[in-house]
Amino acid sequence: MFTRRHRLGLWALLFVVTSVAGSKALAQMPTYGVGRAPTPEEVKAWDLTIPPDGQGLPPGRGTAVLG
């Protein structure tokens, strides 16, 4: 059971964890060392996700109206 106090504690802990994890300078070394580094080709083949600013789109052009 989580009391309000526990939840506050969890949020505080979460803040610390995310602050630490989010800081490149303080990034921890891996603990488990499971998995391998992907090849650039493997990432390129799957990474088809394009953010709203269009970064990563292949060369080309178009407009919303044309679309």
Separation CA 4–CA 11 (nearest Å): 10
Binding-site member from 5, 41, 52, 64 for another protein (CB under 8 A):
52
Structure token pair of residue 3: 């009391």
Q: Residues, the chain, total?
A: 67
Q: What backbone phi and psi angles, to 5 degrees, belong to 37? A: -70, 135
Contact between 67 and another protein (CB under 8 A)?
no
Binding-site member from 5, 32, 62, 64 for another protein (CB under 8 A):
32
In the complex, which residues of this chain contact another protein (CB under 8 A)? Answer: 1-2, 14, 17-18, 21-25, 27-28, 30-32, 34-38, 42-43, 46-52
